[in-house]
Amino acid sequence: MNFHQSQDGDMLQMTRPWPVNLNPGDENLFGHERLKSVQWPGWAGICLLVYDPYHLYGWPTHYMQKKHGLILGTFNWKDISRWRVTLSFNEVLLADHWSANYFHWFTECYPKIWWLIQYGGISKIKLPVWLYDIPFIRASLETFPQLQVITVKRAVIKISIFPRWCKLNMITGNYNPQLLQQVFQHFRCKANDTGTLKRYCIYRSAVKGRGIINFNEVEQILQQFQIEAVDFEKISWNEQVAMMQSTSFLMGVHGAGLTNMLFMPKGSIIWEWRLQSDTHNNCYFSLAAAMEHKYYYQLCKGDATHLQTQQNNFWVDTNVLKNELSQIFEI
């Protein structure tokens, strides 16, 4: 990936490489995500935080967007009068609409916590108890031994006004690659360098969506290339990290499991099965570029033409799969 620093030093302009196996005519799937600019970490101004027992919302007061039925920043004070309003000083806001999602936690929240510890002088954070109770979140926070986590359980809706909040501008699919590499370097430096790196395919049940309908046929081909199927939902987070530190090839349908490329040695191969004509879901293409991996893809037909990527199941063309893998592994 190529980088260019802006004159004021605040922006990082980057050019992501094309997929290794880019097919003629597929440029429109990736072209709009190749040239991007991201900001460096820093502090932003006053922010409103609205939370109830099950959700956590946070936005700058000047940023108005309708989310989950609330228009943040444009409250009706008659409605607010029945909520508790507090001023929170000496605290820093950490909020994300999809914090409970594996991908969003590790690409958007975890780097903020790392940055706050390294450069913000923060030694403790508050999290909703429901969020902290998620196993992979609790386990990941244990990688910060100096961090004190305070859990908060709220029975009523409350608004807190923060004089500052952590601004990393990590818009989904657009990350600061230099920051991400720093954050996850302590995982990647433990990578297996004995030459016995593994190859894995992420298994997802078609019952839950984004599964491979003809997986039995696909698995027969994978076995020819020593690619093992793994169900990450049955493995603890610590086990997943250890596994990925010894992995040089990871493939799967667009989904959270591909986030584990964060823990793989630099230069590994990432393979994503994508729904045909999907130009929107490029977050793993972008993440592979940020972590300096080699990105491959295969377009697949969906089980239902009216469903988007997140709700669909995939049909994999096994002939294309075998030919592509043969070229990668020179078999």
Stronger pLDDT, 245 or 178, i.e. the higher one: 245
Whether 228 and 132 share a structural domain: no
Whether 134 and 237 share a structural domain: no
Among 167, 199, 221, identify where a domain stops: 167
Q: What is the count of structural domains for the chain?
A: 2
Distance CA 105, CA 170 (A): 11
Whether 304 and 206 share a structural domain: yes
Amino acid identity, residue 58? Answer: G
Buried residues in 50-81 as b, exposed as e (16+ CB within 10 A): bbeeebbbbbbeeeeeeeeebebeeeeeeeee
Angle at 280 between CA 37 and CA 294, to 5 degrees: 65
Supply the pLDDT for residue 331: 61
Whether 279 and 228 share a structural domain: yes
In a domain, 221, yes or no: yes
If pLDDT is split at 50, 70 and 90, which confidence band does 114 have?
Answer: confident
Whether 294 and 210 share a structural domain: yes
Whether 193 and 289 share a structural domain: yes
Can you tell me the mean pLDDT for 10-17?
82
Range of the domain at 23: 2-37+185-329
In a domain, 180, yes or no: no
Whether 206 and 115 share a structural domain: no
Residue 9's SS3 state is coil
Give which of 176, 202, 206, 136 is closest to 39, Cα–Cα: 176
Give this prediction's pTM. Answer: 0.82
Among 167, 198, 222, identify where a domain stops: 167
Whether 54 and 92 share a structural domain: yes
Q: What is the CATH number of the domain that holds 258?
A: 3.40.50
Token reading at 67: 């989310």
In a domain, 176, yes or no: no
Among 105, 137, 167, identify where a domain stops: 167
**DSSP3 helix / strand / coil % (the chain, rounded to 5):** 30, 25, 40
**pLDDT, tens only, 140-170:** 999 999 888 888 775 444 444 444 445 555 5
**pLDDT, tens only, 310-331:** 668 889 999 999 999 999 998 6
In a domain, 196, yes or no: yes
In a domain, 130, yes or no: yes
Whether 96 and 131 share a structural domain: yes
Whether 313 and 207 share a structural domain: yes
**pLDDT, tens only, 256-312:** 999 999 999 999 999 999 988 777 788 899 999 999 999 999 999 887 666 666 668
Supply the pLDDT for residue 6: 53
Supply the pLDDT for residue 139: 96
Supply the pLDDT for residue 120: 72
Can you tell me the mean pLDDT for 205-226?
86
In a domain, 96, yes or no: yes
Stronger pLDDT, 321 or 123, i.e. the higher one: 321
- pLDDT greater than 50 at residue 255: yes
In a domain, 236, yes or no: yes
**pLDDT, tens only, 48-101:** 444 444 444 443 333 333 333 333 333 344 444 444 445 455 555 555 555 578
In a domain, 298, yes or no: yes
Whether 218 and 247 share a structural domain: yes
